[in-house]
Amino acid sequence: MAVPKRKTSKTRRDKRRTHDNAPVVTVAVCPQCKKPVVPHCACKSCGYYKGSKVMTTREEVKAAKAAQ
């Protein structure tokens, strides 16, 4: 059976376990386009927040540039 040549140090072991207790990411659903969004933030895919358009999305900027 293969055996590790060296003992795993406390630091290396603890570094490996850093992400074991990572917080669960909260995700909300955009009521406008039904895509997953960060809570309390404008939707990146449609630019809506609380039912009104608040920002221009990257796709809209690209489309505007292409139309010129």
Q: Footprint of Zn ion on residues 8-27 (CB under 5 A)?
A: none
Dihedral sign of CA atoms 21, 42, 50, 59 in order: negative
Candidates 14, 15, 26, 46; binder of Zn ion (CB under 5 A) is: 46
Q: Tell me: does residue 55 bind Zn ion (CB under 5 A).
A: no
Cβ closest to Zn ion, residue 13 vs residue 61: 61
**Local structure of 25: helix, strand or coil:** coil
Of 11-19, 39-47, 50-58, 60-68: span binding Zn ion (CB under 5 A): 39-47
- The angle subtended at Cα 24 by Cα 19 and Cα 28, nearest 5°, is 150
